[in-house]
């Protein structure tokens, strides 16, 4: 019911959406989110570092909390690490619940928590050199919504 | 006690190592940071501003005043930027 | 960029998600929603009536408004009509935008407006007989969020 | 003027027709509803409670005080339940 995957390999967003929706029993609503590497400002590559062991643990804790709060029928969190090109799919989440509002809120919650509570760090490679992406104060502030 | 110390992202780059093993009697994370800063200028620079750092004790996020008793793996890293 | 489809035929949710994500240029975030017929309480079939002509017009107006408010790179609204069995996919929306919050808000907005501003009516077929689904006051209230 | 009147969902069922063509001089939707109610008990019952009805004039949602001048297709239906 809770599916957490941290991987270097690409994933097939459409296939994951189809499989996730097909596996739900009693859900009236499925919400999926997919994050894509943007090629803004000449970005050449996005490097994603993570903390093996803690990453899976943190994502599982976040997904458990979402499932508990919104009585979800299923949760998927899939996040890549390694070096990604513009246009590549970085990560996805999927949620399912009997009512629509639960599936939407849970997906939004997962994204907010994943962003500042799961140990991933992004490094952007541009013609002028590499730089680590700085966390935004607004990312931390977003958690106060929940 | 013996602790495994891990560094990620720009902390790893500034310190020049992803992990190191230390012997310490530091009672808290903050006290451990003090000891690490004294090692060399790389540690001192990377660990100078606690507000720019996050710490995990045995893979759980903690505050800097967290006790180290019983801990095995302490990790330092910048605020996370996943998603 | 705005894709509106009203059809009796089933649709392939996974394929639509894949095609939608692949067609986006400059998006960092894709959100999709899929509504599924729930078999609660012995539901045998869900019949969906609509108003040909006005349906497409209303959905286009709602999608245009979403694209304008959140600077979306793409919007898909697909809604079936006719008789559907429990577990069938009723409808889906997909949104894409540079930032995550825009894609989420737009999908949520589309669902709220679609629910009470697009001319669809649901009739439930149960062992005890058929009955039209009544609109909820909360559906109308939801529009005041926007 | 000649108007096409359309009914959907339970209105269609109660009136027993999906559409009808009427000749009317009613200036507003509300005046048209009055005329339709007078046709027969089915119309009277189906159109008795305006608060349970919605109306579209030429496929755009309107209030019951909307003018009919220039209109061609008037549709009555219950609150919508899509999604």
For residue A34, the chain C residues in CB contact (below 8 A) are: 17, 21, 29-30
Structure ipTM: 0.95
SS3 call for C42? helix
Please determine, for residue C41, whether its predicted confidence score (pLDDT) is greater than 90. Answer: no
Who among A13, A29, A104 is closest to C17 (CB)? A13
pLDDT at residue number C71: 95
For residue C17, the chain A residues in CB contact (below 8 A) are: 13-14, 17-18, 32, 34
Please determine, for residue A41, whether its predicted confidence score (pLDDT) is greater than 90. Answer: no
Closest CA to A50 of A126, A107, A119, A143: A119
**Virtual CA dihedral for C42, C44, C48, C49, nearest 10 degrees?**
-110
Integer Cα distance of A37 and C26 in angstroms = 9
- Determine the distance in angstroms separating the CA of B51 from the nearest CA of chain A, rounded to an integer: 12
Going by the DSSP 8-state scheme, the letter that residue D32 receives in this structure is H
The mean of the pLDDT values for chain A is 96
Average pLDDT over residues C105-118: 96
Integer Cα distance of C42 and C57 in angstroms = 34
SS3 call for D35? helix
Q: In what order do the strands lie in the sheet with C129-132?
A: C82-84, C45-50, C120-126, C129-132
For residue C138, the chain A residues in CB contact (below 8 A) are: none
CATH of D2-77, one of 3.10.20.30, 3.30.70.1290, 3.40.50.1370, 1.10.1060.10: 3.10.20.30
The residue assigned the tokens 């619940």 is: A97
Please determine, for residue C93, whether its predicted confidence score (pLDDT) is greater than 90. Answer: yes
A89 in contact with C at a CB cutoff of 8 Å?
yes
Residue in C with minimal Cα distance to D80: C116
SS3 call for B5? strand
Integer Cα distance of C18 and A11 in angstroms = 11
For residue A21, the chain C residues in CB contact (below 8 A) are: 13-14, 34, 36, 89
SS (H, E, C) B13-69: HHHCCCEEEEECCCCEHHHHHHHHHCCCHHHHHHCCCHHHCEEEECCEEECCCCECC
Is residue A80 within 8 A of residue A48, CB to CB? The reply is yes
CATH number at residue C47: 3.90.1170.40
C59 in contact with A at a CB cutoff of 8 Å?
no
Is residue A125 within 8 A of residue A42, CB to CB? The reply is no
Of C40 and A104, which is predicted with more confidence? A104
Hey, are the CB atoms on D80 and C118 less than 8 Å from each other? yes
D29 membership: H or E segment, kind and range = helix D29-37
For chain C positions 67-106, those within 8 Å of chain D (CB to CB) are 79, 90-91
Going by the DSSP 8-state scheme, the letter that residue A128 receives in this structure is T
CB atoms within 10 A of CB A7: 11
Closest CA to A4 of A42, A60, A81: A60
Query: Quick one: what percent of chain A has pLDDT higher than 90?
Result: 93
Closest CA to A92 of C67, D29, B83, B15: B83
- Determine the distance in angstroms separating the CA of A122 from the nearest CA of chain B, rounded to an integer: 6
Tokens for C85? 């069995």
Look up the domain containing A111 and give its range: 2-145
A88 in contact with C at a CB cutoff of 8 Å?
no
Contacts of C89 (CB under 8 A, 6+ apart): A21, C10, C11, C13, C34, C35, C36, C37, C80
The mean of the pLDDT values for chain B is 97
Hey, are the CB atoms on A31 and C36 less than 8 Å from each other? no
Residue in C with minimal Cα distance to A25: C87
pLDDT at residue number D43: 97
**Burial class of A145 by CB neighbour count within 10 A (0 to 12, 13 to 18, 19+):** exposed
Half-sphere exposure in the Cβ direction for C63 (13 Å, CA) = 22
Is residue B52 within 8 A of residue B78, CB to CB? The reply is yes
For residue C98, the chain A residues in CB contact (below 8 A) are: 38, 40
| Chains C+A touching (3+ CB pairs under 8 Å) | yes
Integer Cα distance of C118 and C56 in angstroms = 8
Hey, are the CB atoms on B82 and A49 less than 8 Å from each other? no
A34 in contact with B at a CB cutoff of 8 Å?
no
pTM of the model: 0.96
Average pLDDT over residues A62-91: 97
Chains in contact with D, where contact requires at least 3 CB pairs less than 8 Å apart: C
CB atoms within 10 A of CB C12: 13
D56 in contact with C at a CB cutoff of 8 Å?
yes
Is residue C117 within 8 A of residue C63, CB to CB? The reply is no
Average pLDDT over residues B16-23: 97
Average pLDDT over residues A2-12: 98
Please determine, for residue A125, whether its predicted confidence score (pLDDT) is greater than 90. Answer: yes
Tell me which of A120-129, B14-23, B63-72, C132-141 is least confident. Answer: C132-141
Total domains present in chain A? 1
Is residue A117 within 8 A of residue A76, CB to CB? The reply is no
A114 in contact with C at a CB cutoff of 8 Å?
no
Hey, are the CB atoms on A116 and B79 less than 8 Å from each other? yes
The segments of chain D whose pLDDT lies below 70 read none
Q: What is the pLDDT of residues C15-35, one digit of tens each?
A: 999 999 999 999 999 999 999
Average pLDDT over residues A55-79: 97
Integer Cα distance of C1 and D73 in angstroms = 30
């Amino acid at each position: 019911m809770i599916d957490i995957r941290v991987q270097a390999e690409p994933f097939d967003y459409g296939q994951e959406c189809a499989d996730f929706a097909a596996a739900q029993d009693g859900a009236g609503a499925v919400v999926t989110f997919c994050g894509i590497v943007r090629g803004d400002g000449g970005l050449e590559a996005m490097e994603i570092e993570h903390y093996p062991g803690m990453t899976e643990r943190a994502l599982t804790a976040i997904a458990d909390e979402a499932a508990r709060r919104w009585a979800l029928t299923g949760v998927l969190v899939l996040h890549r690490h390694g070096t990604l090109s513009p246009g590549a799919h970085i990560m996805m989440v999927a949620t399912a619940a009997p009512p629509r509002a639960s599936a939407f809120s849970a997906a939004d919650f997962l994204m907010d928590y994943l962003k500042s509570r799961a140990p991933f760090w992004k490094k952007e490679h541009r013609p002028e050199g590499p730089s680590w992406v700085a966390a935004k104060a607004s990312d931390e502030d977003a958690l106060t919504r929940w | 006690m013996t602790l495994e110390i891990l560094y990620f992202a720009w902390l790893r780059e500034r310190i020049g190592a992803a992990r190191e093993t230390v012997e310490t009697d530091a009672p808290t994370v903050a006290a451990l940071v003090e000891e690490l800063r004294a090692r060399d200028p790389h540690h001192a620079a990377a660990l100078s501003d606690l507000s720019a750092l996050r710490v995990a004790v045995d893979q759980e996020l903690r505050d800097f005043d967290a006790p180290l008793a019983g801990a095995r793996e302490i990790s330092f890293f910048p605020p996370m930027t996943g998603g």
